[in-house]
Structure 1
């Protein structure tokens, strides 16, 4: 598993979008036993924090100590630095395993073997994420050009799985068809720029070229942003849910 997110972990926690409440309401309905949940690739702990309100125990893992240091803390979340593909969890332990915006970095075969080992019979694996944001026709065009033509070669090859809406990841489980969800955030221009600066391809670009391409993009967006203090930012939610047979 790659670690593209240990640097600037505080910005990752501040600027990355959350997920809609309706998504977790749905997961609460389809998972009856709420003893133990695993938030794998927890990052800033936002999923763990939400799950902690309905599950007795949340085990949240990430390979980045820096991410965990900046994660949201509650009494029933146990954070640990562990790779997704090899953990110290007991067999037949989890009722729900969630991976949010992270599975494309994993070794699929090794992770799925760990899922099967640590999950209880008929537990659920929920793979979730979010696609490219939408704001307005003019701004979307600028960001799309930036995403494809400026950052194109700087994206890790794994990014294709997000561009393909997680539909092309291996998924050897009994899949459950889920509703469609959308995440709508109200962001200022500063927040939008902060989010764009968390993109891994931006970090790769800066490392290779010694300047931040976001600065030019910000200038272009400012010209079409208008007088709004905030704008609605739309993120399509990517989701694959499977029942784990043993």
Structure 2
């Protein structure tokens, strides 16, 4: 019998690493600042399943050191470089960090790929007392034009819907159906925004794992044909439009262990 591969050891984004690095939206600065302010200290943050480092580079502006891990060599090769970031190829469930060495753990748009039981055990092992775990996701984008939004939802999404893995449903429900065994903290509402021309939007669509699976299955790029249909609605290709993604955020705090409470008391 073949061995079962842990979920996070499946590299969903290696084939689209360049598009991922170039076209994925940047996370709101207010989100990373809020997390830094609520962490017990700013010594070390672990950005798990970092991809090409969109969250890690913002954390590096606020923490002395950031350890950013991923299983994808292609993603890490395309990651944003920063002197305070150490990139490592490692699964989420066995990151190699020392016990109680991290003030904040972040998982951006990737919790649905992980073996949650093993990952949460790893989080408890590496977080310092009162450290934070923050996970977030974002679903379908909206532009400033209703006709473009209708085309995106009714046309492109219909074409590639069969090529999303089952785990994608957790992104759509904002991770609310996933187990999250940490005392939760109420967080503000954050929104991702971008100012994009048509080629930026099409590059983002190519960064989807479902788009890569469609290409592998059919041998053609679904984004190219969709771009032809979308162009008359967009107007001049260089026209820039505001793109928005509502962001779903869950934040929990590591409870102090009994031995630590008695020692502190």
Q: TM-score range by the shorter chain?
A: over 0.9
Q: Say whether residues 1:243 and 2:247 are aligned partners.
A: no
CA contact (8 A) 2:40 2:131 kept: no
In structure 1, the gaps of 5 or more residues are: none
Q: Which residue is equivalent to 2:127? A: 119
Is the contact between residue 138 and residue 224 of structure 1 (CA under 8 Å) also seen in structure 2? yes
Aligned-residue offset at 1:209: 1.1
Residue 147 (structure 2) aligns with: 138
- The answer to which of 138-147 and 109-118 deviates more is 138-147
Q: How does 1:49-88 map to 2 (within 5 A)?
A: 49-88=57-96
For 1:191, the equivalent position in structure 2 comes to 200
Aligned residues, how many? Answer: 246
Partner of 2:46: 38
- Tell whether 2:244 aligns with 1:234: yes
Does the CA contact (< 8 Å) of 1:142 and 1:217 recur in 2?
no
> CA–CA distance in 2 between the matches of 1:219 and 1:149?
16
User: What TM-score do you get using the length of structure 1 for normalisation?
Assistant: 0.96
- Structure 2: state its 5+ residue gaps: 1-7, 258-265
> Residue 191 of structure 1: SS of its match in structure 2?
helix
For the residue of structure 1 that corresponds to 2:94, the secondary structure is: coil
Q: Using the alignment, how far apart are the partners of 2:74 and 2:212 within structure 1?
A: 16
Q: 1:225 aligns with which of 230, 234, 255?
A: 234
CA distance in 2, matches of 1:213, 1:73: 31
The verdict on how the C-alpha distance between 1:15 and 1:148 changes in structure 2, with shifts beyond 3 A counting, is closer
TM-score by length of 2: 0.89
What is the aligned partner in structure 1 of residue 260 from structure 2?
none
> 8 Å contact 2:40–2:130 — kept in the other structure?
no
Please state how far the C-alpha of 1:148 moved relative to its aligned partner: 4.0
CA drift at 1:147: 4.9
Look up the match of 2:168. Answer: 159
Partner of 1:95: 103
Taking the aligned partners of 2:107 and 2:54, their CA distance within structure 1 comes to 12
Match of 1:24 among 18, 32, 54: 32
Structure 1 counterpart of 2:4:
none
Cα distance in 2 between the residues matched to 1:185 and 1:65: 27
CA deviation map 1:86-105 (0-9, x unaligned): 12111111100000111110
Find the partner of 2:19 among 8, 11, 22.
11
1:169 and 2:172 equivalent? no
Conserved 8 A contact 1:127-1:239: yes
The two structures, once aligned, show a CA RMSD in angstroms of 1.3
Structure 1 ranges of 4+ moved more than 4 A? none
Shift of 1:32: 3.9
Equivalent residues of 2:183, 2:254 under 8 A apart: yes
